[in-house]
Structure 1
Amino acid sequence: MMSHSAIGSTGTHVVARVDPSAIAHNLEQVRRRLARNGSTPVGPRMWASLKADAYGHGIRHVVPALAGADGLMISRLAEVPVCRDAGWQGPVLVLDGLQDDVEAAQLDQSGLHLVIHRAEQLDWLEARPLHCPPPWVWLRYVGDLGYQGLDYDAYQAAYARCAPWLARGDIAGIGHLQHYAAADTPTGIAAAEARFRSLTDALPGPRSTCNSAAIVCHPAHARSTDWVRPGRLLYGLSPLPDRDGASLGLRPAMSLHARVVAVRELAAGARIGYHGAFGAASAMRIGLVDCGYSDGYPSHPPIGMPILVGGRLARGLGQVTMNSLLVDLSDHPGAETGMPVVLWGAPELPAEQVAAACGGSAPELLTGLTGRVPVIAS
């Protein structure tokens, strides 16, 4: 027979907990990694990446922990007020830049830095109301990633167009930006950086090229730049496929929690799940955890996926439904309904391990949580 615990008034016990102190710690670790003299936290300035609602952690939870950053990097202009409401008064880099002429009329805040990917964004910027504070412009070179940005000729044309604006005070500055396609490999930036330097060396203005992978794999180059753009590192995630955040001195900033809501004894040979997908090779004890793919947990994890039950590792049984998943409690004789479960984010269970087992990445895992899951700072 199954025994059941009462479900709370929200209908779920699943919650994602964010640790702001871990984010502050991770930022300091990035500072130290970039220190030019190897001892004091002095180095390039830092855009702290808040893409995808701070990698799923929630901008409002993360901003107070980023007081040591030099600027924030967001995806869309609409996220600027969220940063300001969270207490940030410094510069904000809008990575996607202006999306239309309507947004150009909303440039009424100081400290804005707009990335330019295409010429029409300059058209919208030129037509903005005159009373708006002059923003910075960052020209993005398409580089080897190739998704978006200005090619060689378009970049030169964009700079030639912006230079008179800067001279007149219509914009506050011009920066140069690119994003590497293979910074997580030993030779992944050399060719891309050479092309970028051939384009920008003769142009004044700061440069920003290094994300988390470049900071870890190419620290000497990262130290030589003006601005870096860490994302994964701030949230305790490794940008390298063969390492986790702890090995880089980082702490996980998010953990996903649920509970055991039912326990059952299975006889040898018993089959459970849709179409009897799982068969018990021997008598075993299983638990039902109230987290499923509708919460954002991977829908097809392998059998044996580690799960923490009551602070001890157990193995998942590869059965995930919309609202639940199964875990082997054979080695947990004291497990019972209501027992806490951690699905990722504990030192023994890094998000990188869970994501890799499912064929994905840790940012994909963290940003994939659905609106059913409350995200709280603790």
Structure 2
Amino acid sequence: MSLESVRYSRGSLLVLNQLLLPQISQYDPVTGVREGADAIRTMKVRGAPAIAIVGSLSLAVELTSSPPRQTSDLLTFVRESMDHLVGARPTAVNVKKAADELKTFLAQEAEKPGVSAQELTDRVIQWAESLLEKDVKDNRMIGDLGAQHILQTTNAPDGVIVMTHCNTGSLATAGYGTALGVVRSLQAMGRLSHVFCTETRPYNQGSRLTAYELVYEKIPATLITDSMAAVAMRKRQVSVVVVGADRVVANGDTANKVGTYQLAVLAKHHGIPFYVAAPSTSCDLSLPTGDSIEIEERPSQELTDINGVRVAASGIGVWNPAFDVTPHDLITAIITERGVFRPEELKDGLSRSL
């Protein structure tokens, strides 16, 4: 059984506090939108799909406990709440897409004759709940399609050796994962040899979270520092690099956890295929290139301190972008639940698969 980043039942939302992993597994209650946004901003919950799910379910929980009496109040509350959630972490596009889709859905439902505020509220709650089931289904499809494509295009008779970055598994989604979903599918097919996961400084999502998932799932894996990626590619026969994405734009440029870009450059140099695994909800075809992606910058203490202890020289300047953008020409293919596309095929491919 995969780890659960979210535990939800009607009126109750618990999120696994990922700030405490791997030492402590603690589920914290989220009773409304403000707490949901705070959990996202402070990275109790992270990963583009999980952010959208937790944000939407925090809205559902608050509507369950305090349903608006008037349709106009509901419309205003949903609009303002989703805008607040979008602002919590701006680089990931999934929550922005969820906000836009929910606003459109609610506006259409509100125009139906005779619908009451309570009926509209129930439909919003059901809409948010549907995201959980869809995310797991989409992730399993991403995993299977990606694994099949890699096996068809990669010469790895003794099993595929995967390098991955940051956390893209059950902890970053509703379950199964994106890049780690590909790993899980390879493992299920008996075709995975080994996984190398980077530590992912400065927040250590790789060493704290991905390593935790790999051990939990009994997947053969080795943790390396971010600075070991090149020598690992050269000395450890890495077959493919598979990463996730917080936003993929129309030309295939991809924003993901900082450090992804350098892995793509290294993979190109070593002749190793570089894959991005992401649901279509992470694809933002409204932006032509990665130059338009807003990159979140995080507090300096994440870089200068470890567990609250200062390790950097006082007075040093800090630049701490949470993400970087990998140019499309370094990406072999983008794996989605709708198919595997070369970057230049992504826009048309997703349009055709609707």
The bucket for the TM-score relative to the shorter chain is under 0.3
Of structures 1 and 2, the one scoring higher in RCO (CA 8 A, sep 6+) is 1
TM-score (norm 2): 0.26
More strand by share: 1
- Calculate the TM-score normalised by the size of structure 1: 0.25
Report the structure, 1 or 2, having the larger helix content. 2
